Amino acid sequence: MKASQHVHEALRLKALKDLNVLDTPPDIQLDAITKATQEYFGCKICLVSLIAEDRQWFKSRQCLDVSETPRNISFCTYAIAEEEYLIVPNALEDNRFSNNELVQGAPFIRAYAGAILRSLDGYELGTLCVIHDSPRAFSAEDIDKLREFAKLAEAVLNKNIVEDI
């Protein structure tokens, strides 16, 4: 790992910590956003996933029983390394994910789309993501809509920082 990547990761984790949202109760606004996103995409699962040091934790979740998973199996970890979003139309055909336990076992992820959620100072906090149990293509319009929903979720996550200023 390059030193600059390590510095960035430390700053990203600090930005996440500064939000004071990890391990807090569900948020009504975020739950409404994930529900609307789930309905729009007709997907099985929709999450607001926050990427901590060794886990991804779900601030909001639709149709997923667990509240977190290890970071090393997280699709969202790959997403936050991208510029804006990550699209995986068929996880079984993607070398990064085909052997992932979340693909080979429950929840049997086949398609994933995640848009990055950022802190006010631009650090990647996590994603708003949709997960399907069958392969699915995502159009440019789909990506735009996911990014719109993500901007709403991002505003909710950052509202506490704004209120503290």
Identify the pLDDT of residue 2.
35
Identify the pLDDT of residue 161.
72
Q: Is pLDDT above 70 for 153?
A: yes
Residue whose tokens read 């997923």: 64
Identify the pLDDT of residue 163.
61
Q: Is 87 helix (H, G, I), strand (E, B) or coil?
A: strand
Q: What share of the chain is helix, strand, coil (3-state, %, to 5)?
A: 45, 25, 35
Task: Give the CATH number for residue 75.
Answer: 3.30.450.40
Structural domain count of the chain: 1
Q: Is pLDDT above 80 for 160?
A: no
Identify the pLDDT of residue 6.
46
Mean pLDDT of the chain: 94
Average pLDDT over residues 36-47: 98
Q: Is 122 helix (H, G, I), strand (E, B) or coil?
A: coil
Average pLDDT over residues 97-121: 98
Query: Which residues constitute the domain of residue 75?
Result: 3-164
Average pLDDT over residues 10-38: 97
